[in-house]
Amino acid sequence: MHGRSIYRVAHRHLGNDVDAWDCVQETLISVHRKIHQFEGRSSLGSWLHRVAVNHALMMLRSRERRRELSLDELIPAIDMGECRVEPPWSEPQPLEELAERLELQRIVRLAIDGLPKGHREAVLLKNLTELDAGEAARRLRVTPGALKTRLHRARALLRRRLELLLSDVEQSKPSR
């Protein structure tokens, strides 16, 4: 019943299908083992969401320790009938433009990953999971005011980190 929402949370934090499904599996195993600890002060969905977020964050920390290249984007998608799923046709994007977009995504992810833990969690929960401030604050176990403060500081830190990272990229580009 809650599998899809757990998957969406995990995918937003982890960024790929394989890790998201691993996170779903770990979440469900943890919940099965610790269901007796569920006190009912929140809904079961909120508790599952918090467990999923915790597992995703642990996976991100683990990933930071052992940087690895994900090949998910290179593997063709296969549907339930074991047929290759092709993306809908679109106008081919110039290779240079695609490379710049991928580099920008990498830089933004690097900037987010470099935020202090509390700030990174606030940004991921509020902005990437599209939760309202009250629910995001509850899941982080802080007041809505504290969440807003974290978000304000996180955005200021992100702005500064992105300025530095992007200036480094500009300086490293060969002049034409």
Same domain, 101 and 58: no
Over 70: is that where the pLDDT of 83 sits?
Answer: no
Write out the two tokens for 44. Answer: 């079961």
| Inside any domain, residue 20 | yes
Q: Which of 33, 53, 69 is the last residue of a domain?
A: 69
**What CATH number should be reported for the domain holding residue 21?**
1.10.1740.10
Write out the two tokens for 5. Answer: 């929402």
Same domain, 176 and 122: yes
pLDDT in tens, 22-78: 999 999 998 889 888 888 887 888 888 888 998 888 888 776 665 544 555 555 566
| Inside any domain, residue 81 | no
pLDDT in tens, 94-126: 778 777 888 888 888 888 888 888 888 888 888
How many residues comprise the chain?
Answer: 176
Range of the structural domain that residue 50 is part of: 1-69
- Please, what is the angle between helix 144-172 and helix 133-140, to 10°? 90
Number of domains in the chain: 2
Burial 55-86 (b: 16+ CB within 10 A, else e): bbbebbeeeeeeeeeeeeeeeeeeeeeeeeee
pLDDT in tens, 123-143: 888 877 767 788 888 888 899
Residue 120, φ and ψ in degrees, nearest 5: -60, -45
Same domain, 134 and 64: no
Helix (H) / strand (E) containing 132: none
| Inside any domain, residue 10 | yes
